[in-house]
Amino acid sequence: MSAITGETKVATAPKGELFGHPRGLFVLAGTELWDRISFHGMQALLTLYMAEQLFKPGRVEQIVGFAGFRAAVEAVFGHLTVQGLATQVFGLYVACVYITPALGGWLGDQVLGRRRGVTLGAVLMTAGHFCMAFDQSFLLALLLLIFGAGIFRGNLVPQVSELYDPDDRRRGVAFQLYASMINFGAFIAPLVSGALGAAYGWHFAFGFAGVGMLTGLIVYLIGQGQLPAHAPRPRGAKPVALTPSETRVVWRLTALVPVAALFWIAQSQVWNTYNLWVRDHIELQVGGFTVPVPWLQSLDGLSPFICLPPMLLFWRWQAARGREPTDFIKIAIGCFIFGASTMLLASAGLITDSHGKTPLAWAVLFHLSSNLGWLYFTPTVTGFYAKAAPRALTGAMIGVYNLAVFAGSIISGRMGSLYETLPASGFWALHAAVVTLGGLIFLVIGLRYARAFEAQV
């Protein structure tokens, strides 16, 4: 195997710091915040919108090109009801959003440069959100959002790293601060979009997502002077052959992708069919107020803030006693916690009120516990890929890991159609079993084969 090792030469980052970090970090974090407000605002609404309104007879016919699109989807996945089609389209959309940054990053490296890549991506996403305001342009909207997100994210995240020298210890803290903006945006967006959708209608809420993305673009353009320049990679960079041990590690990391996808099948379902389940089974009346379904999605942004500090303290306590788990064991624990949390959804029917609804607190408990599993799994597995991969292929192998999210999202979309044929308890128990299976496989690998991945550690 071979890899491109020559890194793009970037200009020195502009001088000037804020809270001990380059000012450009806060420009990028602010841009990412608005991106996530727009993305998670739409994500919280999309399945409900398609299932309850857009795909219903009398309206779906207005979508330009939808008959051919539906025929193509059903040729692959079989006949789908309105609700099954909604969950499958959502799964395909999220899968594509997570896979296109690899293409976007390549375009930034080879053709556009980082700044033009981010700007173009933001413009496409803004146009996509505004196209969501019209039924006729629904498919065009998804296409613009998918490619816009790929170009935008594939070029925004690398700029965080480019603000620091390779040996700067602040780099790790910078990515934590950056990630906090992702979670904060995920917390705010469903609250605002859910309230707007309930009060003024779906299209108004989608318009808010477009305004959010446009705001992010403005923040980025205003702050460009705080960012390092970045030109496309020079042509003719020399490839270098990997060593046999590096090649083996690459193949082993690639082989882990289907195992990691088992986690993302369950996680993706929380963004997808879960909203329909909340609508059908959770008591949303609090006094005289009806809690909008998308508001529960905001807990996925808030819960990491609540769970992270005690979890880090616990890890530190374990490390001080020489008992901190290895990466593989942490990943397995994350799967087990997420599986147990999903069983809370499976058992919700055992705790109901006089109307047959499960108390809202049960769903809140699910979000708190499942996000503890998410914290054990997601940052650990991403860091493991970055650590174990050959240095020449670190970015590429993280892109390979994103195939797990891609596959998990597509499979979760197909499994979402089972919601109409299985009892809710069986539906969520199936997902709990899938993610728990992933944990068992990671546990076995961690106990017996972990050293096979240590060629680069």
Q: Is 174 exposed, middle or buried (0-12, 13-18, 19+ CB in 10 A)?
A: buried
Burial 383-406 (b: 16+ CB within 10 A, else e): ebbeebbbebbbbbbbbbbbbbbb
Task: Indicate whether 153 and 78 sit together in one domain.
Answer: yes
Structure tokens at 248: 């083996």
Of 201, 218, 235, which closes a domain?
Answer: 235
Whether residues 115 and 220 fall in one domain: yes
Residues 308 and 448 in one domain: yes
pLDDT at 15: 55
Domain-embedded: residue 457? yes
One domain for residues 358 and 408: yes
- Does a structural domain hold residue 409? yes
Q: Is residue 417 part of a domain?
A: yes
Six token digits for residue 96: 């594509």
Q: Distance between terminal CA atoms of the chain?
A: 20
d(CA 133, CA 146): 17
Rounded to 5°, the CA angle 156-158-162 comes to 115
Last residue of some domain: 235, 250, 268? 235
Q: Is 207 in the same domain as 254?
A: no
Whether residue 211 is found in the same domain as residue 270: no
- Please compute Rg for the chain using Cα positions: 22
Report pLDDT for 3.
34
pLDDT given at position 173: 60
Asked if 23 and 139 sit in the same domain, the reply is yes
> Is 34 in the same domain as 120?
yes
**What CA–CA distance (Å, rounded) separates 130 from 42?**
11
The pair of three-digit structure tokens given for residue 307, joined into one six-digit string: 């769970």
Look at the chain and report how many structural domains it folds into. 2
Between CA 199 and CA 178 the distance in angstroms is 32
Regarding whether 253 and 231 lie in a shared domain, the answer is no
d(CA 25, CA 16): 11
Same domain assignment for residues 74 and 151 = yes
Contact 223, 215 (CB under 8 A): no
Q: Is residue 10 part of a domain?
A: no
Tokens standing for residue 100 = 């296109």
User: Is the residue at 7 inside a domain?
Assistant: no
CB 279 within 8 A of CB 166: no
User: What pLDDT sits at residue 5?
Assistant: 30
Is the domain of 48 the same as that of 124? Answer: yes
Question: For residue 252, how far is the Cα from the chain centroid?
Answer: 24
CB 255 within 8 A of CB 441: no
- In order along its 457 residues, the chain shows pLDDT tens digits of 333 333 344 444 555 665 667 777 888 888 888 888 888 877 778 888 898 889 988 899 999 999 999 999 999 888 888 888 998 898 889 888 888 887 887 787 777 777 888 899 999 999 998 898 888 999 999 999 999 988 888 778 777 767 776 566 666 566 667 777 777 887 887 778 777 777 777 778 888 888 888 888 898 888 877 777 665 656 655 666 778 888 888 888 899 999 999 999 999 898 888 988 998 899 888 888 888 887 888 888 788 778 878 887 888 898 888 888 888 999 999 999 999 999 999 999 888 777 788 999 999 999 999 989 988 888 788 778 867 777 666 666 777 888 898 889 889 888 988 888 899 999 999 999 999 999 999 999 988 887 777 654 4
pLDDT at 169: 62
Q: Which domain holds residue 56?
A: 18-235
pLDDT at 439: 96
Distance of CA 227 to the CA centre of its chain: 25
Domain boundary among 235, 257, 290: 235
Give bridge partners of residue 2 from the DSSP assignment.
Answer: 241
**Shared-domain flag, residues 198 and 275:** no
Residue 212 located in a structural domain: yes
Tell me if 4 is assigned to some domain. no
Judged by DSSP in three states, 58 sits in: coil
Q: Cα angle vertex 133, ends 152, 199, to 5°?
A: 110
CA distance 211 to 192: 12
Query: Does a structural domain hold residue 2?
Result: no
**pTM passes above 0.85:** no
The secondary element (H helix, E strand) that includes residue 368 is: helix 360-388
DSSP-assigned beta bridge partners for residue 4: 239
CATH label of the domain that carries residue 52: 1.20.1250.20
